[in-house]
Amino acid sequence: MEHGTQNSDPVVSNRTMEIVVAGLFALVAIVVMADSVRVGNGWGSDGPKAGYFPFYVGLIMLVSSLATLAVNIWRHSGERTAFVEKHQLALVLQVLVPSAVFVALTAFLGIYLSAVLFIAFFMHWVGKYPLKTILPVAILVPAGLFVMFEIWFLVPLPKGPVETMFGF
Amino acid sequence: MPEREGNLEALGSLIHGFGVLADPMNIAYMFIGITLGVLIGVLPGLGGANGVAILLPLTFSMSPTSAIIMLSCIYWGALFGGAITSVLFNIPGEPWSVATTFDGHPMAQKGHAGEALTAAFTSSFFGAFVAVLLITFLAPVIAGFALRFGPAEFFAVQLLTFCSFVGMGSESPFKVLCAMMLGFALAAVGLDSVTGELRMTFGSVELLRGFDFLIAVIGLFGIGEILLTMEEGLAFKGKSAKINAKVVWETWKSLPRYWVTAIRGSIVGCWMGITPGGATPASFMSYGLAKRFSKNRQNFGNGEVEGVVAPETAAHAAGTSALLPMLTLGIPGSPTAAVLLGGLLIWGLQPGPLLFVEQKEFVWGLIASMYLGNIAGLIVVLTTVPVFASILRIPFSIIAPVIVVICAVGAYTVHNAFLDIVMMLVFGVVGYVFKKLSYPLAPLVLALVLGDMAESSFRQAMLVSQGDLAIFWSNPLVGSIVTLALVMLFWPVISALLRKRQSRQDGGTEVIPVK
């Protein structure tokens, strides 16, 4: 195998992931078709009903996902190749988890303050930067965005209690 | 000789168009647009479509001609800018510059960044130039022709676009279909504009708006890309670009060697831009073709100049010619063209065949600006690369959170909705998984963009024929487009059958490789 580095335990194999994703596609397809049947997938008094087109979209998706599913169930060659290895997953989560927290914080603190916290945390945690590097970046980037969007382009972004305090 | 007269008329109109550009303010807007566009193209997640959408309100005070000149120049700039990050950082700033990373980045790793960038910009310029020539002479003809189009013809054109993804893609056709249908399904979410019925909203008020393709683009390409880059272990280091007159001159001297690749790339690009397959598949297709026909096939992916020329000519030709169906048929050939179309409607201009009759000055001013805008673009990028590169030569642990924040800002500004930021993150994970399992992203996004339009032309066609599919073969024009589409759709099966037949004819004789 190519990925012969340390900690390269596969978390999940490519084949499993193919089957899971194809299965999810089939599920989405069924939801699409069911909802199309609900709103009507046939011919109404004034032409095609709302579900006419999406029904076939769902049908094509179902057939194609089942084909992918079948190919992967019968074929065993992909069994051993890893979809993601342990250390890779750890790195991906290193970005994904803080990003998710940032998005959640945006709902409460507004986008600017959340951005300051997110950038500062990430630089400290992943980049191990000293405070004198972190502070200018974490403050100037959101400040720059503020000037660009709120002042130049007059596009309002989500703001929180701190911005309200300053009268924005 | 009606054709000759038509060409002469086009030339006359074009000269008139250059007259419109004589206003120094329009030239200034052109340079501002290019610079903003390059910046937008350079920042991952802040794509051309998104950039144009955000900057659209700025242009409301301008005349429609000045506004479209500036917006289209942002578009050219974004097309150029995508190449910078691809070559120097292995991160495509735009989906259509993904193929440029294959050879552009290895060249930069070997210390040939300046050559790679010069080749990329010059071929971009070449591709765009061919496309503009095509627009100049073909647009009036198509516009005249399209005055006769009905819903069945419009649907046939869209069908052809989607079927060519299946036939021409390198991925499993089933995966292409799955990804594409997901795009259509997402496009169908929300209020059905014909019947007023709610589809797939499941009682959620937020889902009433449906899914915007901009959110999907930012998530799939912006966030998904960051996750993939991160997975590769923070190997995100920019290469320095030394571009000076000598490097540019040396590269220019070597480029005529790739004239076949450049012309083929332009043809693929123009075709995909018009059909409207878009710049992304065009760049991949052109790269694939160049690899297949190149003498240095084995060197592709290790830093072959031809591997930069091919996707860049095609991407720029496609990006430019995408405006042809937008102007003549009202069908945008690319996501960014779709946003530009939105702009035209806001200014009270109806894109479509009549535009060439009723808004001559506007149309020809725009076409003339395509010539000058691309020259301006080439000058701007060749002189400012070190500036843009130095902004970006920042370690990944700094740039990653900044890109995530910019993506979030971009996602939010589309509809001023918080849920869109959450959706962006979800699309990011989807993009990451799809990339790893080689589900193609481009058909998904294009189905999301054109879904409503394709559905409404299909329904109108069905309404005309009272549900009889025979309407798609009711005249030679629509019949041949639909038949071609079906050939494209079943191309994987057809080519497999042809191969089988070929090998049977060879009948057991051993195939001797020809040297």
Partner-chain contact B57 A137, CB within 8 Å: no
Instruction: Tell me whether residues A49 and B195 touch, CB distance under 8 A.
Output: yes
What burial letters (b/e) apply to A9-47, b meaning 16+ CB within 10 Å?
ebeebbbebbbbbbeebbebbeebbebbeebbbeeeeeb
Q: Do B230 and A91 touch (CB under 8 A)?
A: yes
For residue A151, give Cα distances in angstroms to A168, B134, B236: 11, 41, 33
Token pair for B332: 């945008």
The candidate with the shortest Cα–Cα distance to B116, out of B237, B213, B290, B251, is B251
Q: A-contacting residues of B 441-470, CB under 8 Å?
A: 455, 458-459, 462-463, 467
Give the distance from residue A122's alpha carbon to the nearest chain B alpha carbon, in angstroms: 7
- Identify all chain A residues contacting B185, using CB atoms and an 8 Å cutoff: 28, 32, 54, 57-58, 61
Radius of gyration of chain B from its Cα atoms, rounded to whole angstroms: 22
Q: Which residues from chain A sit within 8 angstroms of residue B173, using beta carbons?
A: 64
Helix (H) or strand (E) holding A82: strand A82-85
| Token output for B80 | 């150029």
From B174, B433, B459, residue closest to A47, measured CB to CB: B459
Q: Is B227 on the interface with A (CB under 8 A)?
A: yes
Contacts with B260 (C-beta within 8 Å, 6 or more apart), sequence order:
B293
Per-residue pLDDT of chain B (515 residues), as tens digits, is 455 556 777 777 788 778 777 788 888 888 888 988 887 777 655 566 666 766 666 676 677 788 888 888 888 888 788 788 778 777 665 667 777 878 888 888 787 888 888 888 888 899 999 999 988 888 888 888 777 778 888 788 778 778 877 876 677 889 989 999 999 999 888 888 777 788 888 878 778 878 877 778 778 877 887 888 788 765 545 566 667 777 778 888 888 888 888 888 888 888 877 765 566 667 777 888 878 887 777 777 777 888 888 888 888 888 888 888 778 877 666 667 766 776 777 677 777 777 887 888 788 888 888 888 888 888 888 888 777 767 666 677 887 888 888 788 877 877 788 888 999 899 999 989 998 888 887 778 778 777 777 888 888 888 888 878 888 888 888 898 899 889 888 888 888 888 888 888 765 444 444 33
Chain A and chain B share a number of CB contacts under 8 A equal to 182
State the complex-level ipTM. Answer: 0.89
Query: How far away is chain B from the Cα of A20, in angstroms, using its nearest Cα?
Result: 11
Asked if B174 and A18 come within 8 Å (Cβ–Cβ), the reply is: no
Residues of chain A neighbouring B402 (CB-CB closer than 8 A): 119, 137, 141
Of B175, B197, B409, the CB nearest to A145: B409
Whole-model pTM: value is: 0.76
